[in-house]
Amino acid sequence: MTRRASLTSSAGPERSDPPLDYAARTVPDPLEANLSEPSVADLTVVVSNRGFVAVRCSSIVLDLPVGSRPRDLLATGTGIEASVTTPGWAKTGETTGPTEARFEFRPVSGEAEIAADPVTFTFSGLTVNSAVGVAYPRITETSATGQDPLLPRERFVRLPKFPAGSSAAPSAGTNLRVYAGERPADGQPPAVRVPHGSKVTVVWDPAPNVVRRLHHQDQATGTEIADGQTSLVCGPLHRETTFTLQTVSQAEGQPVSRYDSYTVQVDVPEYPMVTLPRLSDVASAGLRITSPVAVADTLTTEEPFTFTGTASISGGPLDAPLIEAGTTQFTGTMDVHGTFTAAGLIAPKVTTTRGLTATGRVAVLNATPTTLAASGSRTFSTDGLVLANADDNEDLELWVTTPAHTYKTWTCDRVGTLIAPVRAGDPVSWGVNGPGGGFSFRWYAFGI
């Protein structure tokens, strides 16, 4: 658990409100005042800009009070390791006295601007005194905004000290994060969105005496994490995935579970099934797609299906009460109970039970007819026409037989023509009776 220390303004000579803000974190948190002997702690101070205008700063001085009073922090000012982790800053002075330990930090260039990025100072090996109370370290910043002159301004940090053992140890933190790829580079920011099919590396901070298990996607029991393991490669990811790290620790002899989660978005996600609830009270209810849609199997909708792009269905049937589309392409079966509207329709077979109405041109014949034998039989897979022609024949009979009817014609003035409609799946036979001459049979299929 991280605690931000509360701050109060100084009553020193410079009473103007400091333009910089300060947050303090201690380990342990809160500080412990051990009545039998001084305890050791670490302190981190983060300096940030509290406003929207860059702050010019030439020095920051931290005074840690030394003494035995409740308002003092340290039993002794010796043995403290102070450093600054922000580039461009350095510790320029350290003084230890009977009442305070002073640490001075300055920009390497003499003056620096603090805008979006904070400045961080660390202090390790602090010897906390045995007096329970609240300590008030003093921070003096020499700062200004704009063209104002640099002025020293004071601020106090409020650090409570509680009796040792009065607070329970916090549950182990995880700092859970996810990086794109199997070997993330140093300094790489965590991922919030990855391409479809990517692998990711899930990372967490180690902690002693805990049991951890990582859950993600549809796992029932999760993946058990070995002791000391700090990362796991997962994937490939096909849809939005939430990673949940379960940490089990002991508190007063009882197991306590903590759960930390991290969600990663995936471009072009795949889902085994998508169900849209019926929205009868919404005027725009239904599924509306404004980009090309590809369906590898079956698409069934209970509400109107409308899209302005291209729908490509290469597997099972399309079943919907209403379809509106720019272009529809499919090799399966389309079952429309109501109205089907499309600027373009490409299909191997179209069957209607309520008629087909079009405001534009409808091409239903195969562009190239098939020449049939002089006589024979066949079952055709689509509806179509058998066309028979006779030429230079005195008395020739042309005939085509279907389950529904036998079609016949005779030559007149030595020529004759016969057209017989055929339904898909019906056996058809054809031939001629009479003397020879020129004649032919051709098959014209409806559809492709």
Q: What are phi and psi of 271, to 5 degrees?
A: -130, 140
CATH number, domain of 66, equals 2.60.40.1510
Q: What angle do CA 111, 117, 121 make, to 5 degrees?
A: 75
Percentage of the chain with pLDDT > 90?
37
Q: Output the pLDDT for position 210.
A: 80
Report how far residue 190's alpha carbon sits from residue 405's, in angstroms, rounded to the nearest whole number.
75
What is the reported pTM? Answer: 0.39
Give the three-state DSSP class for 426.
coil
Q: Judge if 12 and 156 occupy the same domain.
A: yes
pLDDT at 287 over 90: no
Q: What is the pLDDT of residues 47-75, one digit of tens each?
A: 998 888 899 999 999 999 999 999 999 99
What's residue 30's pLDDT?
Answer: 86
Instruction: Examine the fold and report which residue of 100, 129, 163 is the final residue of a domain before the chain moves on.
Output: 163
Residues 410 and 317 in one domain: no
Q: Which amino acid is at 355?
A: G
Specify the pLDDT at position 326.
Answer: 61
Residue 143 is which amino acid?
Answer: S
437, part of any domain? yes
Q: φ, ψ for residue 331 (rounded to 5)?
A: -115, 0
Maximum mean pLDDT: which of 37-41, 282-286, 355-359: 37-41
CA-based nearest residue to 62, from 113, 153, 137, 123 = 137
Half-sphere exposure of 102 (CA within 13 A, CB side): 11
Q: At residue 15, does pLDDT exceed 90?
A: no
Task: Quote the pLDDT of residue 439.
Answer: 87
For 208, 218, 253, 425, the CA distances from 212, given in Å and listed in that order, are 11, 18, 18, 64
Whether residue 23 sits in one domain with residue 97: yes
In a domain, 170, yes or no: no
Residue 274 token pair: 């998508």
One domain, residues 311 and 245? no
Only one residue has tokens 């490509």, namely: 312
**Angle (nearest 5°) at CA 315 between 313 and 316:** 95
Question: How many percent of the chain have pLDDT more than 70?
Answer: 71
CA gap 71, 156 in Å, rounded: 12
Q: What is the mean pLDDT of the chain?
A: 81
CB 362 within 8 Å of CB 404? no
Lowest mean pLDDT among 207-211, 332-336, 410-414, 417-421: 332-336
Among 330, 282, 332, which residue's Cα sits nearest to residue 304?
Answer: 282
Is 292 in contact with 312 (CB distance < 8 Å)? yes
Beta strand 310-313 with 406-410 is: unpaired
CA separation for the pair 34, 131 (Å, rounded): 8
Within this chain, do residues 15 and 149 fall inside the same structural domain, yes or no? yes
- Which tokens sit at 161? 């000290």
Contact (Cβ atoms closer than 8 angstroms) between residue 21 and residue 47: yes
Residue 312 or residue 146, greater confidence: 146
Name the most confidently modeled range: 71-85, 212-226, 349-363.
71-85
Select from 336, 362, 388 the last residue of a domain. 362
Q: Residue 240's closest CA among 215, 219, 270, 214?
A: 270
Range with the poorest average pLDDT among 89-98, 231-240, 259-268, 276-285? 276-285
**According to the model, what pLDDT value does residue 365 have?**
63
pLDDT, average across residues 18-42: 87
Rg (CA), the chain: 42
Q: Which of 118, 137, 163 is the last residue of a domain?
A: 163
Same domain, 379 and 240: no
Q: Which residues contact 244 (CB under 8 A, 6 or more apart)?
A: 214, 215, 216, 222, 259, 260, 261
Indicate if 119 and 12 belong to the same structural domain.
yes
**What pLDDT shows up at residue 273?**
72
**pLDDT at residue 367, rounded to an integer:** 60
User: Is 152 in contact with 159 (CB distance < 8 Å)?
Assistant: no
Residue 306's pLDDT is 66
**Domain assignment of residue 130, yes or no:** yes
| Together in a domain, 85 and 132 | yes
Q: Which band of pLDDT confidence, cut at 50, 70 and 90, is reported for residue 11?
A: very low
Give the span between the Cα atoms of 416 and 387, in whole angstroms: 11
Q: What is the pLDDT of residue 165?
A: 63
Confidence of residue 405 (pLDDT cuts 50, 70, 90): very high
Q: Is the domain of 17 the same as that of 145?
A: yes
Range ranked top by mean pLDDT from 176-185, 215-224, 310-319, 359-368: 176-185
Q: Residue 11: which domain range?
A: 7-163
> Is residue 80 pLDDT above 80, yes or no?
yes
pLDDT for 222: 83
DSSP character for 274? -
Strand order in the sheet with 384-391: 370-372, 438-445, 384-391, 415-422
- How far apart CA 42 and CA 126 sit, in angstroms, is 6
Indicate the DSSP class of residue 296: S
Q: 71 lies in a domain?
A: yes
Mean pLDDT of 425-431: 93
Number of domains in the chain: 4
Has residue 171 been placed in a domain? no
Amino acid at 278: R
pLDDT band at 421 (very low <50, low <70, confident <90, very high): very high
Q: Tell whether 119 is covered by a domain.
A: yes
Are 193 and 326 in a shared domain?
no
Evaluate whether residue 1 is within a structural domain: no
The three-state secondary structure class of 123 is: strand
Is 169 contained in some domain?
A: no
Cis amide linkage into residue 28, ω under 30° from 0: yes
- Tokens (6 digits) for 21: 């803000």
pLDDT digits (tens, 9 = 90+) for 346-365: 665 666 666 666 666 666 66
Nearest in space to 216 (alpha carbons), one of 264, 275, 266, 270: 264
Taking the C-alpha atoms of residue 135 and residue 161, their distance in angstroms, rounded to an integer, is: 7
What are the tens digits of pLDDT across the range 228-261?
A: 788 999 989 999 999 999 888 776 567 788 888 9
- 423 and 306 together in one domain: no
Same-domain check for residues 12 and 159? yes
pLDDT score for 430: 94
Tokens of 419: 């057209």
Residue 261 sits in a domain whose CATH number is: 2.60.40
pLDDT tens per residue across span 360-390: 666 666 667 889 998 999 998 888 899 999 8
